[in-house]
Copies of this chain bind each other. A is one copy, B any other.
Amino acid sequence: MVSSSGHHPAPLADKRNTAPDPGHSPRLRHLIIHLTLRLRQSGPYLGDSGHDHADNARKPGPFAVPPHTLELVSATTALLTDHYELTMLQAALARGTAGRRSVFEVFGRRLPGGRRYGVVGGTGRLLEAIEAFRFDDDALAYLERTCVVDGRTLDWLAGYRFSGDVWGYGEGEAYFPNSPLLVVESSFAEAVLLETLALSVLNYDSAVATAASRMTTAAGQRPCIEMGSRRAHEWAAVAAARAAYIAGFASTSNLEAGRTHGVPTRGTSAHSFTLLHDSERDAFTAQVDSLGKGTTLLVDTYDVAEAVRLGVEIAGTSLGAVRLDSGDLLSLAGEVRRQLDDLGATETRIVVTSDLDEHAIAALAAAPVDAYGVGTALVTGAGTPTAGLVYKLVAREDDDGDLVAVEKRSAGKVSHGGRKYALRRLGARGVAEAEVIGVEHAPADDSRGATDRPLLMPLIRDGEVVGREPLSAARDRHRRAREELPPTALQLSRGEPAIPTRWEERT
């Protein structure tokens, strides 16, 4: 049974579609919580067909679904987890080793796709997901019914909440091979359960943020608009819009990313809008009349030159923009620019879309393009849809209560035991020179060049989130971190990491 306050805030005084503070108020913020509802179907489900849109006066109450048909059974991220995390827990509880203090780390062995640097994405989402990581009645009933774990383990899970410490690279930070992006210290039992969730969030969001950063580099001062929602899982799309914004995108087409994360949203129109109308003239007139002369007209449904002429005829020379979504964009943009200028629409911008990636954006650098709309390549990580990060046990308590380094030695997947600390070594004029990873100690400033920058910040302390920040902070951090890298970092070609990773072994 779900109920609501029926709250309906008054419109803000400033009604422009600009980003609200992405951090919202510290005392009032939005969470996306994924609930499992049980539907009781006492009649045809939502069977009141023949709804008449002529009679659609705005009704109060957020729930269009009759509340009596739905029963809230679960609000948790705890089953976004691999089966084996729970069976390992069961065996460790039985053996008496589940309580051993343990350190797990998230890192990538390499930068996939020949990238020069990676970009940390997802940290803020992960903190919220960890807060929601509880085993509620429905989750426990599922685990019991399917015999995933035994009764003792179920009892332990019922009381689960993460009570340990987490440190990590700030969201938006650059990273390199073996950078310890996240360090989780707690009992083995508490920490092992977070493996799958932590990797899911960080792997997807970091893959998108990394691709997005290359695109905004290629675009230079021209804005990039994220519009890939339709080419990604519907909730991955929201995360992608958020990650792209961190890496410098100006806006997104995704409305849920606007509501939940405060990312500015933008939209133009589609071919279907033109085709709906009896002529392109009708369609453009409808759009300009309703959305204003500042709107963006899609001009490639039929003949581009005719559509551009028509757009300026209808909207005048203050037409906001035209969008090109097909053809040879390099030559077409030039032709359209000349045509617009000849028509006196010198301020009308040209937005290009159509399967752009960072290379296509770079290839249009000399074309008179004002903004790039990027879809598929963004949400799929531009050829690298997952960052390839892993979550590994690097140290754990022994029988004497000492923390000892551990590492596996399997072929080709050697890990580096011991808890890590990280520092970005900065040289003259503050340019990054190396990623220094200290094993079991924090590396010190080398007293040369600019002051070196420690990279791990506290995120959770004694189970309480202390690293929450507005999205704008991650966006600012990314800009600063990228500016600090040597120029080779901004090359789009496949190559070596922009700075080397240097180990400082335990002494």
Contacts and interface: CB of A to CB of B under 8 A. Distances in A.
A409 B163 CA distance: 60
A159 B1 contact: no
B163 A49 contact: yes
Given A57-B155, A73-B62, A146-B258, A277 B97 contact: yes
A87 interface: yes
Interface string A204-232: 11000000000000000000000101111
A411 B141 contact: no
Interface residues of A, number: 194
Contact of A267 (B87, B156, B159): B87
Q: Please tell me how many copies of the chain the complex holds.
A: 2
Nearest to A154: B58
Most chain B C-beta atoms within 10 Å of own C-beta, residue among A40, A47, A58: A58
Contacts of A409: 301-302
Nearest to A328: B411
Contacts of A285: 95
Given A17-B147, A30-B38, A232-B204, A277 B411 contact: no
A127 B320 CA distance: 38
Given A84-B269, A276-B188, A91 B291 contact: yes
A137 B88 contact: no
A410 interface: yes
Interface stretch (A448-456, A460-468, A471-479): A460-468
Interface in A27-49: 27-42, 44-47, 49
A202 B289 CA distance: 34
14 contacts: A18-B146, A27-B41, A33-B34, A33-B36, A33-B70, A46-B161, A61-B136, A64-B136, A86-B267, A94-B286, A199-B230, A201-B233, A272-B392, A278-B398
